[in-house]
């Protein structure tokens, strides 16, 4: 559509009434809320359950703050001009929207880099050897590319040259910058998410368990799909006579991509929280992977719950007697692992009582250290 062919306000009332503002606001709020909850749950898990808060948690929290900023800026763009047809906007509104767009681009790119850094720092905590080295190389590369990327965005013709006319002769074609940053974002996504795969494939696990671990570390590839879809919206967002309308898909996909990356970084870390809140949900898997089994269980024995802690042998001995009353005590040290499994046996109906079955509960405590091993059993009846 040529510029001369653009309608004027009031010429087509049905077009004047069209709006994409609700979808922009709805997506921005929904995804920001979802990722914020995921980050808060991750921080709670690492701080109060595992007590292993690290730099990967700090960086993902920073990325979330930036992501909330992008969502707020997207909503502000919708307030000023984005989401309605260009002939329905005002000059001041359009200028404010472009300024918000520029701020959103800068913060979006920074949040993307910080999210990937969080992934790499987490890999360095989990893995050894080659994976740690590759993660360090990528950390250095991402830091350098992050600075370069922000400089390129600051020199792009759209929107900078529009509200700073003196930069019109010095700026870089906006579509070129957007394509370059988006393609590099996709490439670095694949590089980061592929980093732990060789180490995971070498793990000595059953096929089903290994596929599950691979899928957990591969969650980030879902973000790559969103990035590719967003890439194909860039041309229409630039080469259009109705930018405030045609730029909407790029804007809400930016929010979705950013928050999905943060969600993918947080979801795998919530397993300890799920195990604490819903112990039976993971009971079967924990039974199959119990590190210390004092004896094999009969067919009619099933795991009710299992709790694992690490601490020094002295602290574990002192607290073993009262362990049942303090399941998540913070034992000092990291040399000893204490695993408590509670099993139940269906021992027949009790028709004369208020409940139908008697449960026999056995608590097995195993303490292992490099120089000694202690095992004990305590049997209770209810």
Nearest C-alpha neighbor of 194 from the set 131, 279, 150: 131
Write down the residue that tokens 């109705």 correspond to: 242
Q: What percent of the chain has pLDDT over 70?
A: 73
Quote the pLDDT of residue 352: 43
- For residue 288, what pLDDT band results from cuts at 50, 70 and 90? low
Query: Do 234 and 84 contact (CB within 8 A), yes or no?
Result: no
Mean pLDDT, range 244-273, rounded to an integer: 94
Residue 39 pLDDT more than 90? yes
Quote the pLDDT of residue 337: 44
Residue 305 pLDDT more than 90? no
Residue 56 pLDDT more than 50? yes
Quote the pLDDT of residue 81: 95
Rounded to the nearest 10 degrees, the angle between the axes of helix 91-126 and helix 130-154 is 170
Could you please report the per-residue DSSP string of 214-225? HHHHTTTHHHHH
Ranges 160-164, 241-245, 372-376: which has the least confidence: 372-376
Quote the pLDDT of residue 260: 96
| Between 210 and 129, residue with greater pLDDT | 129
Burial 221-239 (b: 16+ CB within 10 A, else e): eebbebbeebbebbeebbe
DSSP tag of 172: B
Ranges 18-32, 78-92, 162-176: which has the least confidence: 162-176
Rounded to whole angstroms, how far apart are CA atoms 126 and 55?
Answer: 13
Across the chain, what does the average pLDDT equal?
Answer: 79
Query: Do 379 and 328 contact (CB within 8 A), yes or no?
Result: no
Quote the pLDDT of residue 282: 64
Mean pLDDT, range 145-154, rounded to an integer: 95
Quote the pLDDT of residue 66: 98
Mean pLDDT, range 186-200, rounded to an integer: 93
Strands 336-349 and 357-368: antiparallel
- Structural domains for the chain: 3-277 (1.20.1070), 279-381 (no CATH)
Task: Name residues whose C-beta falls within 8 Å of residue 219's C-beta, 6 or more positions apart in sequence.
Answer: 264, 267, 268
Residue 273 pLDDT more than 80? yes
Mean pLDDT, range 244-262, rounded to an integer: 96
- For residue 284, what pLDDT band results from cuts at 50, 70 and 90? low
Nearest C-alpha neighbor of 114 from the set 55, 165, 72, 154: 55
Residue 82 tokens read as 């984005």
Residue 233 pLDDT more than 70? yes
Write down the residue that tokens 């309608």 correspond to: 7
Reduced to 3 states, what is the DSSP secondary structure of residue 154?
Answer: helix
Residue 320 pLDDT more than 60? no
Mean pLDDT, range 116-131, rounded to an integer: 93
Taking every pair of Cα atoms in the chain, the longest distance, rounded to a whole number of angstroms, is 92
Quote the pLDDT of residue 168: 85
- For residue 211, what pLDDT band results from cuts at 50, 70 and 90? confident
Query: Do 254 and 24 contact (CB within 8 A), yes or no?
Result: no
Quote the pLDDT of residue 254: 97
Quote the pLDDT of residue 375: 40
Interior angle at CA 36, CA 47 and CA 143, nearest 5 = 80
Residue 381 β-bridge partners: 360
Rounded to whole angstroms, how far apart are CA atoms 169 and 172?
Answer: 9
- For residue 280, what pLDDT band results from cuts at 50, 70 and 90? confident
Nearest C-alpha neighbor of 6 from the set 76, 88, 71, 79: 88
Rounded to whole angstroms, how far apart are CA atoms 377 and 133?
Answer: 44
Nearest C-alpha neighbor of 291 from the set 339, 243, 231: 339
Edge-to-edge strand order for the sheet containing 357-368? Answer: 301-311, 336-349, 357-368, 373-381
Quote the pLDDT of residue 64: 98
Quote the pLDDT of residue 181: 94
């Amino acid at each position: 559509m040529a510029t001369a062919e653009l309608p004027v306000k009031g010429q087509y009332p049905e077009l004047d009434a069209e709006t994409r503002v609700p979808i922009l606001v709805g997506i921005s709020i929904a995804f920001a809320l979802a990722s914020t909850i995921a980050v808060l749950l991750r921080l709670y898990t690492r701080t109060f359950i595992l007590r292993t808060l690290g730099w990967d948690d700090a960086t993902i929290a920073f990325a979330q703050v930036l992501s909330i900023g992008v969502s707020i800026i997207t909503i502000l763009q919708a307030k000023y001009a984005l989401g309605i047809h260009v002939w329905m906007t005002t000059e001041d509104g359009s200028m404010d929207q472009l300024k918000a767009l520029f701020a959103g681009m800068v913060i979006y790119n920074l949040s993307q880099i910080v999210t990937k850094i969080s992934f790499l720092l987490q890999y360095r905590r989990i893995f050894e050897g080659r994976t740690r080295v590759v993660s360090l190389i990528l950390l250095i590369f991402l830091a350098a590319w992050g600075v370069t990327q922000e400089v390129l965005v600051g020199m792009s013709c759209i929107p900078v040259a529009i509200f700073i006319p003196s930069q019109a002769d010095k700026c870089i074609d906006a579509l070129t910058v957007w394509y370059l940053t988006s393609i590099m974002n996709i490439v670095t996504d694949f590089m980061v998410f592929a980093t732990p795969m060789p180490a995971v494939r070498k793990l000595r696990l059953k096929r089903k368990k290994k596929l599950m671990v691979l899928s957990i570390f591969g969650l980030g590839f879902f973000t790559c799909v969103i990035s590719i879809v967003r890439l194909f919206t860039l041309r229409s967002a630039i080469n259009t006579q109705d930018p405030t309308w045609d730029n909407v898909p790029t804007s809400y996909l930016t929010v979705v991509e950013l928050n999905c990356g943060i969600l993918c970084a947080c979801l795998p870390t919530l397993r300890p929280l799920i195990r604490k809140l819903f112990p039976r949900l993971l009971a079967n898997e924990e039974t199959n992977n119990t590190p210390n089994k004092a004896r094999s269980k009969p067919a009619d024995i099933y795991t009710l719950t299992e709790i694992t802690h690490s601490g020094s042998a002295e602290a574990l001995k002192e607290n073993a007697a009262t362990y049942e009353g303090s399941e998540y005590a913070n034992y000092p040290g990291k040399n000893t692992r204490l695993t408590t499994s509670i099993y139940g046996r269906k021992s027949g109906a009790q028709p004369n009582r208020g409940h139908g079955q008697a449960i026999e509960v056995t608590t097995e405590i195993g303490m292992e250290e490099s120089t000694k091993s202690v095992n004990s059993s305590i049997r209770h009846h209810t």
